């Protein structure tokens, strides 16, 4: 064997070893990232899950529904982890691309694991994980939660798998029928399923993203304070202290009345139970009967006063909490809040205009140029620093994607179909958790495609996501329709919120810091004093109608 053949064999073996080590390294990194996202997702779901069926941690083993809910939470945590992976694909890819194309970090020893193959592997795993979670894990969790809870685990799992098989066959027939109707038989069913998922995520974004931006700006618009803000707060604080004083006085009077009732009750009982002169152990039946009636009246009245006492204490506690909040608001500086509002107002509108500019640029490019090769020089001039380390292009694209994602997620829970499943800490049922994870998965599975379609980045998609716009001509028309619809819905939603809202509600009560300015009424804390003669008259009437008759048949 010659030396040339030996060198070729060694080089082939080294290349195979390098490929194997690269494959192992990529899978280890992907597994570590998945474990991190899964831990975050599981902890979030545990915080949002409602703790029902058990009230004590020590009784968790006796809960017959604990294992079922734990299985569903584990499946939903996997789906939420893949949803987070889908949202983080573009920012991670942009930062990695900037590091790879930078001369300072290109030869760094700690970044030797970062290469293009790793990014492609992460994109492939994200695509596979999102589809498995959306079409396998979450349907299993939903159908499992709807089965008979008194059956065994294997019986419920078998029933769930049977239902999933039937639904899968129904979906396959539906997709096959659509393929035959539209004449796109060259596309397989999985690509069609991915296309439908992207269309569903796009439809949600069309409605939710403008609404989310409006919600963000509504929160920002609550920051500015009036020049006389401190003076009005001091007046509110003064009125609050007066109210607390009034309620405390009423509480003292009520407690004094309760003590007097208890003393009268004890006195009357001791007077009635004194032995008579005829016999040491004989008692008057009429007095015993009257004492029972009196005790019942006094008990009812004391119970009513006790309830009133609890209500007054609750009102005092509420007023004290409001006083603490007013003290906290009094420490806020109007100048700081107004300056912060001005900065956030300018930044939010500038970012939103940039997003609309990118969408308009992508729309014009798709209308005027069939292929993007003619604009390659123009893109190079505009985005020179896109691949530079934390340059303007990278930061710009990451900021746009982050703001667009935040507006979409906020807007999803602001529109009417999804308001009922809005996440709440410690109050979400298993069905609500499944619904929330499903919505996030639908959006995240289509997110890599939507970001590229809207022109928020100049980097191309990787893995199966890059086949969306090139698999058929209908993909290009859908992308163009989505850009046009995004611009139209954004403009219409903004006009509807700011213009039509003012036209529909021309007169309204001014709202300052979330509370309406209503005239203050002191009379609601003061009630007229009780008439003691009226109370005695009512008590005498009660005794007359309920006292036993004497031997003449007359009532006292």
Q: Is residue 73 within 8 Å of 142, Cβ to Cβ?
A: no
For the ranges 258-272, 345-359, 473-487, 540-554, which has the lowest average pLDDT? 540-554
Measured distance CA(432)–CA(419) in Å, rounded? 11
Query: 377 or 249: which carries more pLDDT confidence?
Result: 249
Q: Which residue has the higher pLDDT, 97 or 308?
A: 97
Coil, helix or strand at residue 516:
strand
Instruction: Please check whether residue 76 is in contact with residue 134, taking contact to mean a CB–CB distance below 8 angstroms.
Output: no
pLDDT over threshold 50, residue 382: no
**pTM, two decimal places:** 0.69
Mean pLDDT, range 240-269, rounded to an integer = 69
Per-residue pLDDT band for 107 (boundaries 50, 70, 90) equals: low
- Phi, psi angles (nearest 5°) of residue 427: -130, 10
pLDDT over threshold 70, residue 377: no
The CA distance from 52 to 63, in Å, is: 10
Please report the pLDDT score of residue 172 as a whole number.
84
Mean pLDDT of the chain: 72
User: Three-state SS for 23?
Assistant: helix
- The span from the CA of 191 to the CA of 41, in Å, is 28
pLDDT of residue 38 exceeding 90: yes
String of DSSP letters for 98-143: HHHT-TTTTT-GGGTT--HHHHHHHHHHHHHHHHHIIIIIHHHHHH
Lowest mean pLDDT among 31-35, 298-302, 499-503, 517-521: 517-521
CA distances for 149 relative to 69, 157, 167, 313, 479, angstroms: 11, 11, 21, 44, 45
Pick from 437, 397, 455, 477: which is nearest to 78 by CA?
A: 437
Q: Whose structure tokens read 């065994």?
A: 152
164-189 exposure pattern, b = at least 16 Cβ within 10 A, e = fewer: beeeeeeeeeebeeebeeeebeebee
- 391/542: higher pLDDT: 391
Give the other-Cβ count within 10 Å of 242's Cβ: 12
How confident is the model at residue 49, as a pLDDT?
Answer: 84
Please tell me the predicted confidence (pLDDT) of residue 80.
92
Residue among 72, 211, 195, 78 nearest 445 (CA): 195
Q: What is the pLDDT of residues 510-544, one digit of tens each?
A: 444 444 444 444 444 344 555 555 545 554 554 44
Residue 15 has pLDDT above 60, yes or no: yes
133 or 547, which is more confident: 133
Rg (CA), the chain: 36
The pLDDT confidence band at residue 380, using thresholds 50, 70 and 90, is: very low
Which range has the worst mean pLDDT, 295-299, 408-412, 482-486? 295-299
Report the alpha-carbon distance of residue 417 to residue 303 in Å, rounded.
Answer: 46
Overall residue count recorded for the chain in this entry: 556
Of 10-24, 25-39, 199-213, 455-469, highest mean pLDDT = 25-39
DSSP for residue 137:
I
Confidence of residue 41 (pLDDT cuts 50, 70, 90): very high
How many other β-carbons are positioned within 10 Å of the β-carbon of residue 502?
10
**pLDDT digits 0-9 by tens, 52-75:** 544 444 444 434 447 778 888 899
Task: Please tell me the distance from the alpha carbon of residue 248 to that of residue 242, in angstroms, as a whole number.
Answer: 10
Alpha-carbon distance 388 to 94, whole Å?
10
Nearest to 404 by CA among 365, 443, 435: 443
Out of 6-10, 233-237, 445-449, give the one with best mean pLDDT. Answer: 445-449
């Amino acid at each position: 064997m010659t030396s040339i053949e030996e060198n070729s064999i060694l080089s082939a073996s080294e290349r195979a070893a390098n490929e194997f080590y690269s494959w192992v390294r990529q899978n280890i990194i992907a597994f570590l990232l998945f474990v991190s996202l899964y831990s975050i997702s599981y902890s979030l779901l545990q915080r949002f899950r409602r703790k029902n069926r058990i009230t004590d941690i020590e009784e968790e083993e006796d809960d017959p529904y604990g294992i079922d809910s734990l299985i569903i939470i584990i499946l939903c945590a996997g789906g939420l982890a893949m949803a987070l992976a889908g949202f983080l694909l573009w920012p991670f890819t942009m930062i990695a691309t900037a590091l790879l194309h930078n001369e300072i970090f290109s030869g760094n020893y700690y970044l030797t694991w970062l290469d293009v193959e790793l990014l492609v592997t992460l994109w492939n795993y994200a695509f596979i994980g999102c589809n498995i979670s959306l079409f396998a894990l979450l349907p299993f969790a939903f159908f499992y939660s709807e089965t008979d809870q008194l059956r065994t685990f294997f019986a419920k799992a078998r029933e769930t798998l049977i239902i999933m098989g039937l639904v899968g066959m129904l979906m396959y027939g539906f997709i096959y029928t659509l393929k035959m109707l539209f004449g796109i038989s060259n596309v397989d069913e999985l690509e069609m399923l991915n296309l439908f998922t992207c269309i569903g995520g796009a439809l949600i974004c069309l409605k939710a993203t403008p609404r989310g931006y409006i919600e963000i700006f509504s929160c920002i618009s609550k920051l500015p304070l009036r020049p006389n803000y401190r003076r009005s707060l001091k007046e509110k604080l003064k009125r609050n202290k007066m109210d607390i004083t009034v309620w405390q006085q009423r509480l003292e009077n009520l407690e004094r009345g309760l003590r007097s009732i208890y003393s009268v009750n004890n006195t009357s009982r001791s007077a009635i139970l004194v032995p008579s002169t005829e016999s040491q152990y004989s008692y008057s039946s009429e007095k015993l009967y009257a004492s029972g009636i009196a005790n019942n009246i006094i008990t009812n009245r004391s119970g009513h006063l006790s309830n009133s006492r609890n209500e007054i204490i609750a009102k005092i506690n509420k007023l004290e909490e409001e006083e603490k909040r007013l003290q906290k608001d009094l420490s806020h500086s109007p100048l700081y809040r107004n300056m912060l509002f001005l900065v956030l107002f300018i930044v939010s509108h500038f970012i939103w205009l940039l997003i609309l500019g990118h969408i308009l640029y992508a729309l014009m490019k798709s209308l005027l140029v069939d292929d993007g090769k003619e604009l390659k020089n123009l893109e190079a001039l505009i985005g020179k620093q896109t691949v530079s380390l934390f340059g303007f292009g990278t930061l710009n694209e990451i900021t746009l994607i982050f703001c667009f994602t935040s507006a979409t997620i906020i807007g999803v829970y602001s529109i009417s179909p999804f308001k009922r499943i809005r996440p709440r800490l410690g109050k979400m049922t298993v069905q609500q958790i499944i619904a929330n994870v499903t919505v996030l998965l639908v959006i995240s599975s289509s997110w890599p495609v939507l970001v590229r379609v809207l022109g928020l980045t100049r980097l191309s998609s990787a893995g199966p996501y890059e086949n969306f716009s090139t698999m058929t001509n209908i993909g290009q028309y859908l992308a163009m329709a989505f850009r046009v619809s995004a611009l139209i819905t954004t403009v219409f939603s903004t006009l509807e919120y700011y213009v039509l809202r003012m036209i529909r509600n021309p007169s309204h009560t001014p709202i300052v810091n979330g509370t309406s300015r209503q005239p203050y009424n002191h009379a609601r804390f003061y009630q007229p004093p009780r008439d003691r003669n009226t109370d005695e008259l009512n008590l005498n009437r009660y005794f007359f109608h309920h006292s036993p008759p004497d031997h003449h048949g007359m009532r006292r």
